[in-house]
Chains A and B, each alone.
Chain A
Amino acid sequence: MTVKELAEGLALECVCMPEPDREVEGGYTGDLLSWVMGRAQAGDAWITIMSNQNIVAVATLTDVALIILAEDVRPDPGVAELAERKGINLFRSPEAAFPLCAKVAALL
Chain B
Amino acid sequence: MKELSLNILDVAKNSVKAGASRIVIRIEEADGWRTLSIIDNGCGMPPEFVATVTDPFTTTRTTRPVGMGLPLLKLAAEQTGGDLQIESSVVPPTGTTVRARFKIDHLDCVPVGDYAGSVVTLIQGSPDIDWLFVYNREDGKSVSLDTAEVRQILGPEVPLNLPDVLMWMEGALQFETEQQ
Contact = CB atoms under 8 A, between A and B. Distances in A.
A34 B68 contact: yes
B65 A60 contact: yes
Interface string B38-68: 0000000000000000011100000011101
B71 A34 contact: no
Contacts of A57: 56-57, 66, 68, 71
Contacts of A58: 68
A60 B65 CA distance: 9
Contacts of A60: 65-66
Contacts of B75: 33, 52, 54
A57 B55 CA distance: 9
Interface of B is mostly: loop
Given A33-B75, A34-B1, A34-B6, A54 B68 contact: yes
B71 A54 contact: yes
Interface in B117-176: none
B2 interface: yes
B64 A61 contact: yes
A18 B146 CA distance: 52
Interface string A41-77: 0000000000011101110110000000000000000
Interface string B6-39: 1000000000000000000000000000000000
B86 interface: no
Contacts of A56: 56
B116 interface: no
A37 interface: yes
A35 interface: yes
A61 B66 contact: yes
A102 interface: no
Contacts of B64: 61
B137 to A, nearest CB: 24
A102 to B, nearest CB: 26
A8 B64 CA distance: 33
A53 B1 CA distance: 17
30 contacts: A32-B1, A32-B2, A33-B68, A33-B72, A33-B75, A34-B1, A34-B2, A34-B68, A34-B72, A35-B2, A37-B68, A52-B75, A53-B55, A53-B56, A53-B71, A54-B56, A54-B71, A54-B72, A54-B75, A56-B56, A57-B56, A57-B66, A57-B68, A58-B68, A60-B65, A60-B66, A61-B64, A61-B66, A82-B57, A86-B57
Given A54-B71, A54-B75, A61-B64, 10 more contacts: A32-B2, A33-B75, A37-B68, A52-B75, A54-B68, A54-B72, A57-B68, A60-B65, A61-B68, A86-B57
